[in-house]
Structure 1
Amino acid sequence: MNRIRTAEEEQEYRRKQQHETRLLNETLKGRWDQVLPGLIPGLDLAVERGHQHHITCPFHGGVNDFRIFQDFADTGGAICSCGKWTDGWALLMHARRCTFFEAKKMLVEALGGRFDASNLPVRYVKAKDPDEVARKDAFNKKIVQQIWGDALPLTDDRSAPVRRWFYNRQLHEVRGPLNVLRCHPALEYFTERNVTHTGPAMVAMMTDINGRTCGLHRTWITNDGRKANVESVRRLTSSISTHPIEGSAVKFDTEPHPVLMIGEGIESSLAARAIAGYPTWSALNQNQMTKVEVPDYVQAVIVWADRDHNGVGQTAAAELVARLRKAGKKAVCVIPPFAPAPGEKTVDWNDVLRSLGLEEARKLPIVLQVLEPLRASLN
């Protein structure tokens, strides 16, 4: 019969586990791409192809549906229509259907039974050719300029597909001018360098803390404002080395204000904007959510989190709140009041708006608990 640990022994055990996990995280940063492919069948192809290419999902088999994050070596994160994993822990636990401690054991074994990288081969990082980097940057910048230049303001009659897209999501009170959103009337969709679809798309501009364009987010839709029949409805353009996407956001409002709201997806963020009325940005995804850079003039930040079945959205929002508080800003996280329905993976604030209606969403206790003290402090 196993003896029950005393309180002191339990505390010491937890300290040891936390210390080991810290060591593992430190060791694996910059090395997830060396370790995970040996633990997750099929992941080696995604690592070989890189973050700009989609592969057949190793989990559900979706063609050209899975890709790793740009910072995969540091984080181990990946995304697919079947899920989002912001770090290697989440990806490994999903792939192997295992617990955190089982994943930890696998990682230690992959490191040769150690918590350091002494048993891994020495990594030689090839220096990037400046001319090749400049060539890619020029090409990617040209693509961004061409797409944005061909896209139309939402007030244009030909932008009706995006307006219908918003209407279908009960985003009836989307205040203008929303200059960072446009409608491309006929945007090509590529699969392995072949055009497989051409149709309307909502195009969103991402800018950094200095207002520089970092890339474009594209959502392919139909003329009647629904999701297009393509493998991956949402895509980012390739990044430019001098203007990295990390830290950027889709900034619906840029006039200086002491309060800023940050949501995840575009539609969820616009729903939060309609509910609360403060300046709003969209981080686009959980990975970006943790890295958004906030201006000095902002005093308080409300983070409107997605409520994911696996908790990833809530965790990303909590990380952002913790970072902002550490920087001396007031920050709070607001989570949707109900969980995903059976078979669904997430609930965002657009789901809340569509379920309850705008007026009822504004009356939610969790919303009032955040907004009323904030409004009082600003008066």
Structure 2
Amino acid sequence: MTDMPPWDAADLARRLAENAEAVCRHYLSAGRRHGNYWLVGDVHNTPGRSLYVRLHGGPDGRGRAGKWTDGATGQHGDLLDIIRESLGLLDFGDVADEARRFLCLPQPQPRPASDRGRSDAFGHDASPQASGTADAARRLWAMSRPIAGTQAETWLRHRDLTRLTDLSSLRFHPDCYYRADTDSPTETWPAMIAAVTDLQGRVTGVHRTWLARDGRGKAPVEIPRRAMGDLLGHAVRFGTVSDVLAAGEGIETVLSLHEIMPDLALAACLSSAHLAAMAFPPALRRLYVLRDDDPAGDHAVTTLLARTQEAGIECLLLSPRLADFNDDLRYLGCGAMRAILHPQLAPQDVAQFLHPFTH
């Protein structure tokens, strides 16, 4: 890797090694995991078991994640070599660019005008703007980890959200890149990462909430929440939809209902426009809409009332007493929230979902 500055190559190799399995699943997709190794035929992604990539370092410090050996040829190297060989790249600058794209890192400088619009080996736009694609969102999701014991858990508990054991749609990234605009410097902050999925459960995008270092608030940046990827019609989902679903805009808002109705399926659509455009699950018979008291929220409600009527779905509105349901939870408590929601729910849903206890 002599064409790259040594520190750059070493840093990229280290970051790739920290996400070795995600790298292998992307560039060596013909292989499979076996214990602590990813097995595949060769660096060109041929099916087989000759090449093995170590996914984690050994407990005794021996062996490094990301190192690989091809038992048939004797070839060996790191994950930068995997990217180079699997894509057939010749220039190590292109290898570094591809690694940064995979890791959702900023490019060190704009690509020359002659390179803009070219596609990489997967047919994706190779310009820096490609970081907002669904593929980039899925890579960030793959590189994130469960929220237990992280600043993301601290953030949710700070919002009085305590039912956090089965929230598989939420993950955490300790050093998520943030840049206010293309001319601003890049910063890193801890972030809660939420998976945006379609009705089949496929990740189409992610939502990032950048957090303060201690997790007890949002990061002190201009725009602490951003989504990326394919969002239209999709949502951050909690629980499995049967025939009843509650949908709203914000993640913390819909999770506030989870505190007292943990068995009710929820969808956070992230904005009023996306709430209005949400896709309806095939089995849906009754939709509760968490109403935000503003013009955009009113428009979303009007649109959903028309769409659900056309689809033969009952649509009921849920209105908080304060600004939103998370404010109701934090300032009024679970008992008051239960009293607020009880008369707004269909009687059969009171019996099925509204737990009689508080915590």
TM-score, length basis structure 2 = 0.58
8 Å CA contact 2:172–2:191 kept in 1: the answer is: yes
Q: Distance in 1 between matches of 2:137 and 2:143?
A: 10
Q: What are the residue-to-residue correspondences of 1:17-28 with 2, within 5 Å? A: none
**2:154 is the counterpart of 1:180:** no
Kindly state the Cα deviation for residue 211 of structure 1 after the two structures are TM-superposed. 2.4
Higher radius of gyration, 1 or 2: 2
One-letter identity of the residue aligned with 2:290: W
| Compared CA separation, residues 352 and 318, structure 1 to 2 (3 A) | farther
Please give the alpha-carbon distance, in whole angstroms, between the structure 2 residues aligned to 1:175 and 1:230: 26
- Aligned 8 A contact 1:306 1:349 in 2: no
- 1:259 alignment partner in structure 2: 244
Q: Does residue 320 of structure 1 match 2:304?
A: yes
1:212 paired residue number: 202
Structure 2: gaps spanning 5 or more residues? 1-116, 354-359
Question: Contact 1:261 / 1:301 at 8 angstroms: preserved in 2?
Answer: yes
Shift of 1:372: 5.0
Which SS does the other structure have where 2:195 is aligned? strand
Q: Given that residues 318 and 333 in structure 1 are in contact (C-alpha distance below 8 angstroms), is that contact kept between their aligned partners in structure 2?
A: no
Pairing 1:1-379 to 2, within 5 Å after superposition: 134-136=123-125, 140-155=133-148, 157=149, 159=150, 161-172=151-162, 174-193=163-182, 194-225=184-215, 226-237=217-228, 239=229, 244-253=230-239, 255-277=240-262, 278-308=264-294, 311-338=295-322, 347-364=323-340, 367-375=341-349
- In terms of fraction of residues, the more helix-rich structure is 1
2:250, 2:350 → 1: CA distance? 29
Q: 1:284 to 1:376 in 2, by over 3 A?
A: closer
Q: Structure 1: give runs of 5+ residues left out of the alignment.
A: 1-128, 339-346
Note the alpha carbon deviations across 1:312-356, whole angstroms, 9 max, x for none.
213312321331122001111112224xxxxxxxx2211111121
Partner secondary structure for residue 295 of structure 1: coil
Q: Distance in 1 between matches of 2:135 and 2:185?
A: 18
The residue type equivalent to 2:338 in the other structure is R
Which amino acid is 1:143 matched to? A
Conserved 8 A contact 2:245-2:286? yes
Measured in 2, the distance between the counterparts of 1:377 and 1:179 equals 26
Going from structure 1 to structure 2, the CA distance change for 1:377 and 1:368 (only over 3 Å counts) comes to closer
Q: Which residue in 2 is equivalent to 1:79?
A: none
Secondary structure of the structure 2 residue equivalent to 1:165: helix
The one-letter code of the counterpart of 2:245 is L
Shift of 1:209: 2.2
Deviation for aligned residue 1:216:
0.8
Task: Provide the rounded CA distance (Å) in 1 between the counterparts of 2:124 and 2:161.
Answer: 41
For the 8 Å contact 1:197–1:230, the answer to whether it is kept is no
Deviation string 1:167-219 (CA, Å, 9 cap, x unpaired) is 111112x2432111101111110233454321100101111123222111100
1:252, 1:280 within 8 Å by CA — same for their partners in 2? yes
Task: Give the root-mean-square deviation of aligned CA atoms.
Answer: 2.6
Which residue matches 1:114? none
TM-score of the two chains, using structure 1 as the length reference = 0.56
The separation in 1 between residues aligned to 2:175 and 2:249, in whole angstroms, is 26
Count of residue pairs brought into register by the alignment: 229
Q: Secondary structure at the match of 1:363?
A: helix
1:207–1:214 CA contact under 8 A, matched in 2: yes
Q: 1:376 to 1:304 in 2, by over 3 A?
A: closer
Tell me how far apart the structure 2 counterparts of residues 294 and 141 of structure 1 sit (CA, whole Å): 21
CA distance in 1, matches of 2:144, 2:261: 29
Taking only the aligned residue pairs, the percentage that are identical comes to 31
How far 1:300 moved relative to its partner?
Answer: 0.9
CA distance in 2, matches of 1:302, 1:180: 20
